Structure 1
Amino acid sequence: MTTGGARGRDEVVAVTLAAAADLFAERGPAATSIRDIAAKAGVNHGLIHRHFGSKDRLIGAVLDHLGAQLADMLAAGAAGSEVEAAIDRQLRVIARASLDGYPAGQLQTRFPNVSDLIEQMRARYSTEHAARLAVAHINALQLGWRLFGDFLRASAGLDDLTDEELAQSIAGAIAAMTKSGQKQ
């Protein structure tokens, strides 16, 4: 039985993934119970267990959902602010899950955006390993700034750096990484 009107497996799964993603991004999986997710989603907590099984499987499903959602947004040419919000949410869930001790890279089963980026880098780098390493560096750069931007600004004396200047700097660093690996 649901308490919020979601009916059928697909609706219950959809509202559960949305609620879990919000809560995991806000406070992390360790500080979020299945009952918290059920309350936010308006479903019975037993349905979450039925459709996802363990909390680890729910975390993996949320990570897969967020990756697919972002890939769909990018393919549809969504507005920059929507894409930025989706990226921020996804990276926060990845970071919080990892910091909480969940093996996010193992729980997530599909990485559509990373796969697309690797495919782009293959044409620019002489080896598969170099292309994959470049993608890992690009992701680390984005993840680090999104999650630790306040600390990085303060520690490097960049308190007056605007968000636009930061975005341009990150884009420049990513462009440099992609150019540096170009095949000769």
Structure 2
Amino acid sequence: MPSTVSCGCDSHASICDFRACPKVGRDKGKIRVSSEQDPPPTRIRGGEAVKTALIDAAAEMLGEIGPSHISVREIAERAGVNHGQVHHYFGGKRPLLEAAMKQLAHGHFEYARMLTGDSIFPPALSLSQDSNYWRAISHIAMDGDLDLARIEIDEGVSVPRLTLKKLRTKTAGEMDDLVVKARLAGVAALQLGWVAFEDYLLMAVDAHEEEDRETLLAEVKKSIENAIVQAFD
């Protein structure tokens, strides 16, 4: 006698063999039951709401995996919409990823400018407060997708480019432009390297206790600030 379960399936009687039912039994070792009382899946309605949900989902996923590993279906599932909406509103995955990167870049730029104020550099270690952005940049760079990474430059919202502009004004006639670029790249590498490898580096230097971590972070911040001073003062 086959095991049976009431599943509310429209295709046959309400009592069915759950192993053959299209609505239940899809997960190994689990019986998934649907009924007429179950609410339908939430679906976002309205063109702008759908586009916003897709961009937000794509931006979130860029912070988790490289762009070449993201699928249209995964983005749509994360957004809670049908995958056909990606093609309808964006024409495909690439334009959607570009829109997501624009959103991340603009958000990071405004946040960094707020923190920087009248200074040339954003505060040391402040990049860690915008984790989705730096994770996205890291995954994109490791994927070798520099066209996606340079969107912030094309959009005029690149923090490194703004910093370079300020440094050129500060060092005009005193420092070769190539030296300015090289030293800026070195300082940026310190910032990006720390946020990407912070947990590993703390473990590597045996900073287990919370108070040790706090002291170490303060010293790392000082080190980066000193590197900036030595490079450009």
TM (normalized to structure 2)? 0.61
Supply the RMSD in Å over aligned alpha carbons: 3.0
Match of 1:179 in 2: 229
Structure having greater relative contact order (Cα 8 Å, sep ≥ 6): 1
Tell me, what secondary structure is at the counterpart of 1:66?
A: helix
User: Structure 1: which 5+ runs fail to align?
Assistant: none
Listed as ranges, the matches of 1:78-157 within 5 Å are: 87-99=130-142, 101-103=143-145, 105-108=146-149, 109-111=151-153, 112=157, 113-125=159-171, 126-157=175-206
Shift of 1:65: 1.5
Bigger drift between 131-140 and 13-22 goes to 131-140
Check whether the contact 1:21–1:62 (CA below 8 A) recurs between aligned residues: yes
Shift of 1:173: 2.9
Closer, same or farther: CA 177–144 of 1 in aligned 2, 3 Å: same
| 2:218 matches 1:168 | yes
Shift of 1:37: 0.9
TM (normalized to structure 1)? 0.74
Check whether the contact 2:207–2:213 (CA below 8 A) recurs between aligned residues: no
Higher percent of residues as helix? 1
Match of 2:6 in 1: none
Bigger drift between 135-144 and 155-164 goes to 155-164
State, as a whole percentage, how many aligned pairs show the same letter.
25
Bigger drift between 65-74 and 115-124 goes to 115-124
Amino acid aligned to 2:222? G
Check whether the contact 1:16–1:37 (CA below 8 A) recurs between aligned residues: yes
Match of 1:49 in 2: 87
Check whether the contact 1:134–1:177 (CA below 8 A) recurs between aligned residues: no
Q: How many residues are paired up?
A: 174
